[in-house]
């Protein structure tokens, strides 16, 4: 499934309400670690039927902050969040964002 970019609160709310499991990557467009995480995420997304979204922190700072505040998860970038039934079930950041880690949490 291709990656879908989200940039605002309405798109985010719609994304997490449409499927039981939803992955969201908070990504920086200027950080080399974020670039590496994005590549792992992109490879994961190509093989999935689950909904896989991302947001660029520089372009969607209000949404990134809203997610951190709403779900009580400290903002990091890069950061991946797995939502199940609208709640965060797992999150991780930086070098821990790997295709294998994403696959592991998808199958739990």
For residue 84, the enclosing domain spans 4-106
The helix/strand/coil state of 1 is: coil
Per-residue pLDDT of the chain (108 residues; tens, 9 = 90+): 578 999 999 999 999 998 889 999 999 999 999 999 999 999 999 988 668 999 999 999 999 999 999 999 999 999 999 999 999 999 999 999 999 999 999 888
Please count the structural domains in the chain.
Answer: 1
Q: Could you tell me the CATH number of the domain that includes residue 17? A: 3.40.30.10
Written in H, E and C, the secondary structure of 35-88 is HHHHHHHHHHHHCCCCEEEEEECCCCHHHHHHHHHHHCCCCCCCEEEEEECCEE
The model scores a pTM over 0.85: yes
Look at the block and give the residue holding tokens 């792992």.
40
């Amino acid at each position: 499934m291709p990656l879908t970019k989200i940039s605002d609160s309405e798109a985010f709310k719609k994304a997490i309400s449409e499927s039981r499991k939803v992955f969201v990557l908070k990504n920086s467009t200027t950080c080399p670690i974020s670039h590496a995480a994005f590549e792992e995420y992109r490879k994961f997304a190509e093989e999935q039927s689950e909904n896989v979204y991302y947001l660029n922190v520089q372009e969607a700072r209000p949404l990134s902050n809203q997610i951190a505040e709403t779900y009580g998860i400290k903002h990091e970038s890069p950061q991946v969040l797995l939502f199940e039934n609208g709640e965060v079930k797992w999150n991780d950041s930086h070098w821990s964002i790997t295709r294998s880690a994403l696959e592991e949490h998808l199958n739990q």
